[in-house]
Amino acid sequence: MSKQFQFKLVLLGESAVGKSSLVLRFVKDQFDDYRESTIGAAFLTQTVALEDGTSVKFEIWDTAGQERYKSLAPMYYRNANCAVVVYDITQSASLEKARSWIRELQRQADPSIIIALCGNKSDLSARRQVSQEEAQKYAEEEGLMWGETSAKSGEGVNEIFTEIAKKLPKNAPPSARAGGARAGAPRGGVDLNKQAAAQGGQNEPCNC
């Protein structure tokens, strides 16, 4: 039986660089040209099978628009195992924003976090403003993974998530590695949902 590991992945980047589209492509292999700002979906999961027989389940946190006015809650970074910081290759300003998100991650997140810098919209390379060399050089300096993707065509999308999955440490027991709060039964914690369902037995106050 293959071992499964669960990790929390957070997405960062300026509004409209295609964070949600990237995840939609990765998770559902879909693309929507007129996708509006993220509504209703902030907790997607996708599993990547690796060649060594293990599999990695990503618990993917979208920003839900809270990045727009620099109002992302500390909870977002908490226990994140990996981050995908997205910029738009046709907007050089978006790489600057990506740099500031990376600084923010280095300040707020766990020092062992794995960060991938991702240049999205590679299908629009005719309008390219950020060269591959520039982005790659910066990524190397900061020790980040790097890749270009097109959420529209799907190019490079699975590759970047698979590369992250390969790089994540798999030495800890699968359950204890999971970042999020809902990784099955929390360590020494209590599961409200479970207990709520079990309620209604002898401890029910009365039938009034």
Partner 1 sequence: MDEEYDVIVLGTGLTECILSGLLSVEGKKVLHMDRNDYYGGDSASLNLTQLYRKFRPDQAPPAELGRDRDYAVDLIPKFIIASGELTKILVHTDVTRYLEFKQIAGSFVYRDGKISKVPSNEMEAVRSPLMGLFEKRRAKKFFEFLQGWRDEDPATHQGIDLDKDTMATVYTKFGLEPGTQDFIGHAMALYLTDEYKNKPARPAYERIILYTSSMARYGKSPYIYPLYGLGELPQSFARLSAIYGGTYMLDKAIDEIVTDESGKFVGVRSGNETVKAKQVVGDPSYFGAGKALEGKQRVLEEGKVIRAICILKHPIPGTDDSDSAQIIIPQNQVNRKNDIYIAMVSSTHNVCAKDVYIAIVSTIVETDKPELEIQPGLQLLGQIHDKFISVTPLYTPAASGGEDNIFITRSYDATSHFETVVDDVHDVWKRMIGTDLVLKKRDVNVEA
Distance in Å, CB of 33 to partner 1, minimum: 20
Residue listed under structure tokens 């990237």:
22
Tell me which residues touch partner 1 (CB under 8 A).
27-28, 37-46, 64-66, 68-71, 73-76, 78, 108, 180-182, 186, 188-190, 192-193, 195-196, 199, 203-208
Distance in Å, CB of 22 to partner 1, minimum: 14
| β-pairing verdict for 114-120 and 145-148 | parallel
Identity of the residue, 33 or 36, whose beta carbon is nearer to partner 1 in the bound complex: 36
Enumerate residues 6+ apart whose C-beta is below 8 A from 203: none
Whole-number Å distance between alpha carbons of 104 and 115: 12
Identity of the residue, 61 or 146, whose beta carbon is nearer to partner 1 in the bound complex: 61
Q: Is the dihedral of CA 99, 102, 104, 107 positive or negative?
A: negative
Identity of the residue, 62 or 88, whose beta carbon is nearer to partner 1 in the bound complex: 62
* Integer CA distances (angstroms), 157 to 86, 164, 184, 193, 199, in order: 12, 11, 28, 34, 44
Distance in Å, CB of 205 to partner 1, minimum: 4
Identity of the residue, 53 or 189, whose beta carbon is nearer to partner 1 in the bound complex: 189
